[in-house]
Structure 1
Amino acid sequence: MRETKREAQSATAPKAKFTDLLKNRNLLLTYLLVFCSLYGFFVMCTWLPVYLEEVRGIARSDTGFVSSLVAWTSIPAALLYGYISDKIGKRRPVVLCLLPLAACSILLMLLTKSHALMITALVCYGFFGKLATDPLTIALVADNTPRNQLSTAFGIFNFVGMSSAIIAPYATGLLRDITGSWNSGFYVAVGLLILGIVAVLCIKEKKQI
């Protein structure tokens, strides 16, 4: 009986169109946010150990551990922010708090001359950056997508994320060759985080029950 009812509902439901997702304003803004957030993360993943060795003079044997601090601190952060977001029933306010702090963390890493402050900045980036905001961006996609198009929406989500994974390492290396400085690539990551903040500000969100 239940199967018959479900079949009847699926038969009367309008067919999902891929183009409907591309017309969804909130989804497009969320995808822009995902690209901007992941860009900085992949810059960190690919070039941070080289930056630490060449610019900061940290021993090669220690660069892996220092770089891993970003991932270590993101684990409790993701759980915390996901809980807070569910508690208040919104994603947007939490993301708007985290993105500026992530951008400031990268700037602190670049501007400080102290190794202790630089490591603190990396820990802060892990606590406020991409890995910590992942549950929120995923929830934003789910909140703004019809149930019959969730797989397609998350497919686009992955496409956008992997696009940044391809572009970020290449662009950062190219900027290093052009400018002679590693900082230029990290500054681009900060600029994209600011663009991500603008995207979040434009998202219209209703409280989730």
Structure 2
Amino acid sequence: MSDLSHATDEEMRRAVVRKVARRLIPLMGLMYFVNYLDRTNIGFAKLTMSEDLGLTEAMFGLASGLFFIGYLLFEVPSNLALHKFGARIWMARILVTWGAVASAMAFVPTPGWLYGLRVLLGIAEAGFFPGMILYLTYWLPRADRVRMTGYFLLAIPISSVVGAPLSTTLMQVMDGVMGFAGWRWMFFLQGLPAIVLAGFAIAFLTDRPKDAKWLSEHERTWLQNRLDTEARDTASTHHWPLKSSLTNPRIIGLGLIYFGTTYGLYALSFFLPTIVRGFSQMFGRSYSLIETGLIVAVPYAIAAVVMVWWAHHSDHTKERVWHVAGPLLLAAVSVPVALMLQSPFLVMVAVTLTAIGIFCALPVFWYLPTNFLTGASAAGGIALINTLGNASGFAAPYATGLIKDATGGFGVAMWVVGGFLAMAAILALVLGAAPKPKAPAQPDDVTARMETP
């Protein structure tokens, strides 16, 4: 182990953050990869499941969106539980329960059972994503947070880059094995890795830097002191008690920005496979299940590369607002134009621009709430933002399905998606121009001590 006892503060930061990233980010990314795949693989299952279960577009949209009902109800309590009990135990609990429910979806006999298990899946998974965002604040100095959050959020596009062809291949290859449809095998097999990862969470996640035996004593002390100093600076400038953070207009505004962003994300995630399969009617081009999965993967692969560069650029320039609003404006313009184009290639170019815009905005966005919330207020505030934002997870697929049934195509639905993305971009600019809020006066020092980790 290299001796850092005489290193400068900047050398210490780079060395310690590099070691933290190598230890935590790959496992966290893998967990989120499995998490996001289990949440959205219903979009691929739809290609054959809808006929087996008799689902209309609206019924499929409802099944997709019902996940978020349970998810939203238990989001804030779950994040507060992580803050109280620690990431190792709470993440393992989430992994086991969501993996079991995800696999159980293989056995649904009717739409009603599908609806019920989607609600249970949301309850089981509640708190995972905001918990991971909160967990990163326990380990990363502010200067490195956007960049490392970008690496963690790579799991979203990668889950489609890898998950799209994986899901469709499983559906095609396993169809009829032991009398089960391919989509049932896909659900069953893709739920199992979450249960296995629970053991890795127990073994490799560490709750706080002071507990990290894999850091030297000097590294542990430096990192904990750096994080404590940043937390005190944030708290002294604008300390928000938990109750106040949950009613803070800026938190509500950030939740609405996230709503618009994820409206676009979930509309793409749940319906892009269907849009690609629809090329047979639009352009006379038909594709197999595996070919559909490979085509769907392309926009996400390109977006993943650009997202990493964009997060680095934001940390380098220290600019955040336009790094959120600019990509969202790109997505807002490109998504409604996509289905107006006259070839599959041009449609996918526009969809790729939409994916780039959405994914570039995400890691920079999550810097904003952690810039003025700490401790329990951060746990509650981040969870509330995620809760408000993920309400779009119900609204986007259900509304998209309803509009598709009513109009016979996805054109109008994509204009709605563009409208929500534009709303998010405008709100980001408005909040960026507004002065930072002042924290409410504290009745006594006891409250502040209770809220600070």
TM-score exceeds 0.5: yes
Q: Distance in 1 between matches of 2:394 and 2:240?
A: 33
The one-letter code sitting in structure 2 at the alignment partner of 1:172 is: T
Q: Which aligned pairs between 1:33-72 and structure 2 lie closer than 5 A?
A: 33-55=257-279, 56=282, 57-61=285-289, 62-72=291-301
Q: What TM-score do the two structures reach when normalised by structure 1? A: 0.82
Return the match for 1:89 from 303, 314, 318. 318
Aligned partner of 1:169 in structure 2 is 397
Show CA shifts across 1:128-177 (max 9, x none): 22x22211111112123244411112211321233211221111101112
Aligned partner of 1:108 in structure 2 is 337
Contact 1:77 1:128 (8 Å CA) reproduced: no
Contact 2:334 2:351 (8 Å CA) reproduced: yes
Secondary structure in 2 matching 1:73: helix
Aligned partner of 2:242 in structure 1 is 17
Contact 1:29 1:202 (8 Å CA) reproduced: no
Matched, 1:187 2:411: no
Q: How many residues align?
A: 195
Contact 1:109 1:118 (8 Å CA) reproduced: yes
Return the match for 2:388 from 145, 160, 168. 160
Q: Distance in 2 between matches of 1:204 and 1:144?
A: 13
Contact 1:43 1:189 (8 Å CA) reproduced: yes
Show CA shifts across 1:48-84 (max 9, x none): 1112222544424322222222321222222111111
Secondary structure in 2 matching 1:111: coil
Secondary structure in 1 matching 2:241: coil
Contact 1:81 1:132 (8 Å CA) reproduced: yes
Q: Distance in 2 between matches of 1:157 and 1:65?
A: 33
CA change 1:204–1:146 in 2 (3 A) is: farther
Compare 50-59 and 191-200 and name the one that shifted more: 50-59
Q: What TM-score do the two structures reach when normalised by structure 2? A: 0.40
Instruction: For structure 2, list consecutive stretches of 5 or more residues without a partner in the other structure.
Output: 1-220, 222-227, 436-453
CA change 1:64–1:161 in 2 (3 A) is: farther
Show CA shifts across 1:26-69 (max 9, x none): x2222111110100111111111112222544424322222222
Q: Distance in 1 between matches of 2:432 and 2:240?
A: 25
Instruction: For structure 1, list consecutive stretches of 5 or more residues without a partner in the other structure.
Output: none
Secondary structure in 2 matching 1:204: helix
Show CA shifts across 1:2-47 (max 9, x none): 9xxx9xx9xxx9882323332242x222211111010011111111
The alignment yields a C-alpha RMSD, in angstroms, of 2.5
Q: Distance in 2 between matches of 1:40 and 1:86?
A: 25
CA change 1:15–1:173 in 2 (3 A) is: closer
The one-letter code sitting in structure 1 at the alignment partner of 2:295 is: V
Q: Distance in 2 between matches of 1:79 and 1:15?
A: 31
Deviation at 1:87?
1.6
Q: Distance in 2 between matches of 1:58 and 1:162?
A: 33
Deviation at 1:96?
2.2
Return the match for 1:28 from 238, 242, 252. 252
CA change 1:154–1:20 in 2 (3 A) is: closer
Return the match for 1:151 from 352, 359, 379. 379
CA change 1:59–1:163 in 2 (3 A) is: same
Q: Distance in 2 between matches of 1:202 and 1:117?
A: 33
Secondary structure in 2 matching 1:203: helix
Q: Distance in 1 between matches of 2:406 and 2:244?
A: 39
The one-letter code sitting in structure 2 at the alignment partner of 1:86 is: D
Using CA pairs below 8 Å that are at least 6 residues apart, which structure has the higher relative contact order?
1
The one-letter code sitting in structure 2 at the alignment partner of 1:198 is: I
Q: Distance in 2 between matches of 1:117 and 1:180?
A: 21
The one-letter code sitting in structure 1 at the alignment partner of 2:316 is: K
Contact 2:242 2:376 (8 Å CA) reproduced: no
